[in-house]
Structure 1
Amino acid sequence: MPKFRYTLASFILGLLVSMGALAADPVAVNPSHPERYVVVKGDTLWDISGHFLRDPWRWPDVWHVNSQIANPHLIYPGDVIVLTYVNGQPRLTLERGSLVKLSPRVRSTLLDGAIPAIPIDAIHQFLTRPFVMDREAMESAPYVIAFDDEHIIGSNGVKAYVRSIDSEDNTQFDIIRPGGPYKDADSGEILGYEALFVGSGALIRLGDPATVTLNNIEIETTKGDRVMPIAEEEPLETFYPKAPGQQIFGSIIDVLGGVTQIGQYHVVVLDKGAGDGLEPGNVLAIDHRGETVKDNVSKDPKDTVTLPDESAGLLMVFRTFPRVSFGLVMHATRAIHVLDRVHNPE
């Protein structure tokens, strides 16, 4: 997988392009903010801004950008971030040795050591593989029918026999396993199907069945697993945290990565996607969905009441599909659960 590049320039300038101007709403500072902060290895731009701002994703709104220079410095461990005020509004600037303005040099290479926007290790495995498909695409995909040398299951180096590969245009494949449906939390409508990544395969002989050598197997391949050409598009490298451009009201419908308790840096599935106006980088608030409880005081034994929703955290969308999306939980103030609600941050 290619390295990921997160420059402060793209983090800021991409946001400005997408929004047209800095946000008009005033930015609230963290009441316990420092005046200066020294960047350390392991920080992210989100972490750093959290030291200074109540809403960490508002970093670009207060960063001092020189409009005459296309690319600001990257931020590295040892750099110093300083909070000042201009006309009563907070402003963050960068010091490197002495106060520096912004670099006129355009950096075109991937640079190690620069501070990323978010913890990329938490999401890298979910950036490129299919993971969500519609029923028609799933059912029409080539599939494993048997294995060589009397193998019952497939592992690295084993030959798999695959039906319905009818072209040599693609020779590298993802092996996926059809999973359960993703459903709208309120209506129950099916929005797509989970496509669980099994491993990879390389075409060595065309025919009916074709022969594919298995490699990079993460879970054992079984008969019926689907075979999909590896997508050639590059994964998204830079995220621009911002509120959605329209009102979003949705829910968490699943959690990825084999965890059962949802907390910070866990990846969740939402029942809203690109078709609903969501984009990578959109920030959403999470509310614990109020449960319905029985009123034991009421004389009516069937009397119940639904408790109010309560704030539970914040997530950032990093990948969208037509009707669902993946989000990374950036902040959690309480336990988060499947069916908790998401909406525009206030």
Structure 2
Amino acid sequence: MTFRSFPGFIIALIFSTTICAEELQINPSHPNQYTVVKGDTLWDISAKFLNHPWQWPELWKNNAQIGNPNLIYPGDTIYFSIVNGKAQLSLTRNEQLYSSLSKANGPCVLKEDDLKHGRTEFLTSEDGKLLPCIREIPIKEAISLIPSSAIAKYLSSPKVVSENELNNSPYVIGFAGEHLLAGMGDRVYVRAIDSSDSFSYTTYRKGDTYTNPETGEILGYEAKYVADMKLEQAGDPATLLITKASGEIRMGDRIMLSPEEDINLNYFPKPPEQKILGSIISVLGGVSQIGQYNVVVIDKGVQDGIQIGHELDIYKRGKLTRDPYTTQKDAAVKLPDEQAGTLMVFRPFERISYALVMKAHHAIHILDKVQTP
């Protein structure tokens, strides 16, 4: 499994000069300035100024006093302005020291202990004046586009497989030592692995079945991670050693080659180029109510043109109501759909996708619609 990640990767991408060629939609209740606080994300901040947060880079204006505008930290202040008829954002650092670093002869560095307990020794110039100090802030403290903790555990597991993949994969038929269940360090017998070309395998257990809410067609099956295994002897049955387990291995659990997924951690939200109209069909994490930063499953995937970073609006389906003045029997009027929030796809599969709810205006439910903004 390969992770593509770079220091400050999310921040750098959000300031990309590439932007959807769409007229900026300014949030009418935007502040004139905003000071970043710990826990903020770039998405949250951009939503204060824009109706569509993915348009953030178009607002950004490089500040000559900032050496690296791709990193924003708590304490920095963001300003909204109109320049030559165009809306822009600029930023002022909390620490007004960056521009003087080149003038300092060996500038001092304020570390975390200095900030907590105070610093007593400082460098001085030849004429006795204090030289400026810089504050050392780890790059990981820069705010991110989204809270990575919300999606971290869903980047590699569970996975979604087709009916053919599930039914044709090897499966556990017994345990060494006459055990009824197995765990880490135990050996299991699997039917059947005939080739010894690969030695790393993963055990999955069938989870939810994902279906199209309109047609009932099966779109895929959730495959829940159970364990990692190492092939010791190919055959029918094959012998595998359990090297890591999240729970007990049971009879019938499916065995698949360990994934070599190239997990993309670089997110640049953007609307799909084509029209997408789908539905939320499930929610992950065992929650009953869907809100901001919950992970949902939508019934659109790669074959529908869905890509990592695609943003979709969520709409609550309009209810059917009876017209109190109609004389027609069983007559009903459908109320308009209401926008309930926004989501961003972070892990698309062939026919479904995992997406993070970025914004929730109202309660969100399974079967709510998702569509291109």
Q: TM-score, normalised by structure 2?
A: 0.79
Amino acid at match of 1:291: K
By how many angstroms is 1:132 displaced? 1.0
Q: 171-180 vs 220-229, which deviates more? A: 171-180
Correspondence for 2:217 among 159, 184, 189: 189
Alpha-carbon distance between aligned partners in 1 of 2:187 and 2:161, rounded to the nearest angstrom: 26
**Is residue 279 from structure 1 mapped to residue 307 from structure 2 by the alignment?**
yes
Alpha-carbon distance between aligned partners in 2 of 1:239 and 1:136, rounded to the nearest angstrom: 31
Question: Which residue is equivalent to 1:53?
Answer: 50
Question: Which residue is equivalent to 1:166?
Answer: 194
Alpha-carbon distance between aligned partners in 2 of 1:74 and 1:231, rounded to the nearest angstrom: 33
Question: Which residue is equivalent to 2:75?
Answer: 78
**Is residue 36 from structure 1 mapped to residue 39 from structure 2 by the alignment?**
no
By how many angstroms is 1:266 displaced? 1.0
Once the two structures are superposed, what CA deviation does each residue of 1:83-102 show, in whole Å capped at 9, x if it has no partner?
Answer: 2222222212232334989x
Is the 8 Å Cα contact of residues 7 and 114 (structure 1) preserved in structure 2?
no
By how many angstroms is 1:60 displaced? 1.9
Which of these two proteins has the greater Rg computed from alpha carbons? 2
Is the 8 Å Cα contact of residues 271 and 324 (structure 1) preserved in structure 2?
yes
Question: Which residue is equivalent to 2:21?
Answer: 23
Paired residues, number: 329
Alpha-carbon distance between aligned partners in 1 of 2:175 and 2:254, rounded to the nearest angstrom: 14
Summarize the Cα distance change of 1:27–1:291 in structure 2 as closer, same or farther, 3 Å threshold.
closer
Correspondence for 1:91 among 88, 91, 97: 88
Summarize the Cα distance change of 1:302–1:234 in structure 2 as closer, same or farther, 3 Å threshold.
same
Amino acid at match of 2:249: T
Correspondence for 1:337 among 339, 361, 365: 365
Is the 8 Å Cα contact of residues 212 and 218 (structure 2) preserved in structure 1?
yes
Q: Say which SS state the counterpart of residue 50 (structure 1) adopts.
A: helix
Summarize the Cα distance change of 1:100–1:290 in structure 2 as closer, same or farther, 3 Å threshold.
farther
Is the 8 Å Cα contact of residues 33 and 77 (structure 2) preserved in structure 1?
no
Amino acid at match of 1:51: K
Is the 8 Å Cα contact of residues 273 and 325 (structure 1) preserved in structure 2?
yes
Amino acid at match of 2:276: I
Alpha-carbon distance between aligned partners in 2 of 1:84 and 1:248, rounded to the nearest angstrom: 34
Is the 8 Å Cα contact of residues 33 and 53 (structure 1) preserved in structure 2?
no
Alpha-carbon distance between aligned partners in 1 of 2:78 and 2:221, rounded to the nearest angstrom: 44
By how many angstroms is 1:134 displaced? 1.0
Summarize the Cα distance change of 1:180–1:130 in structure 2 as closer, same or farther, 3 Å threshold.
closer
Runs of 5+ consecutive residues of structure 2 not aligned to the other structure:
100-137
Alpha-carbon distance between aligned partners in 1 of 2:299 and 2:54, rounded to the nearest angstrom: 22
By how many angstroms is 1:308 displaced? 2.2
Is the 8 Å Cα contact of residues 283 and 317 (structure 1) preserved in structure 2?
yes
Is the 8 Å Cα contact of residues 219 and 352 (structure 2) preserved in structure 1?
yes
Alpha-carbon distance between aligned partners in 1 of 2:223 and 2:324, rounded to the nearest angstrom: 45
Is the 8 Å Cα contact of residues 316 and 328 (structure 1) preserved in structure 2?
yes
Alpha-carbon distance between aligned partners in 1 of 2:278 and 2:48, rounded to the nearest angstrom: 29
Q: Say which SS state the counterpart of residue 230 (structure 2) adopts.
A: strand
Alpha-carbon distance between aligned partners in 2 of 1:305 and 1:157, rounded to the nearest angstrom: 62
Q: Say which SS state the counterpart of residue 128 (structure 1) adopts.
A: coil
Question: Which residue is equivalent to 2:112?
Answer: none
Question: Which residue is equivalent to 1:239?
Answer: 267
Q: Say which SS state the counterpart of residue 275 (structure 1) adopts.
A: helix
Question: Which residue is equivalent to 1:107?
Answer: none
Alpha-carbon distance between aligned partners in 1 of 2:11 and 2:167, rounded to the nearest angstrom: 43
Q: 235-244 vs 161-170, which deviates more? A: 161-170
Alpha-carbon distance between aligned partners in 2 of 1:156 and 1:7, rounded to the nearest angstrom: 36
Q: Say which SS state the counterpart of residue 46 (structure 1) adopts.
A: helix
Question: Which residue is equivalent to 1:143?
Answer: 171
Alpha-carbon distance between aligned partners in 2 of 1:3 and 1:247, rounded to the nearest angstrom: 29
